Amino acid sequence: MNENFALLLDIYGELLSKNQREAVDLKYNSDLSLSEIAEEMGGITRPSANDARKKGEKRLLAFEEALGNAKRLNFVLKLTARARELVGAISENENYSQETDELLKILSEIENAM
């Protein structure tokens, strides 16, 4: 679940309040404890840090449920990885061609766009 919130934060983080974004970021990208999060956020109370984190998580999940961007991204990355495996298999036999090179370039462009 930690990776999921990190990805959701990358996608939807700008839609959170500053405190929510910071609390979720410190939790999932820096792996800080609640006390450490409170201290990093300017010495706010632990309950305030926890509240900001929980509200941020709830909003991230709501955005994902409504928009599904992380789900689509994971799906495209999975398909791209499988396509790359197939191209690798093709390149190991005599069917390798200029089209295979072009497909590899397209896959790289897709991956870079993500």
The CATH architecture one would assign to domain 2-67 is Orthogonal Bundle (1.10)
Q: Which residues contact 18 (CB under 8 A, 6 or more apart)?
A: none
Q: How many whole angstroms separate alpha carbon 44 and alpha carbon 112?
A: 39
Geometric angle at alpha carbon 72, from 66 and 74, rounded to 5°: 125
CA distance 53 to 48: 9
Can you give the pTM of this predicted structure? 0.77
In a structure prediction context, what are the per-residue pLDDT tens digits for the chain, which is 114 residues long? Answer: 556 999 999 999 999 999 999 999 999 999 999 999 999 999 999 999 999 999 999 999 999 999 999 999 998 888 888 888 877 777 777 666 777 777 888 888 888 877
Q: Is 98 exposed, middle or buried (0-12, 13-18, 19+ CB in 10 A)?
A: exposed
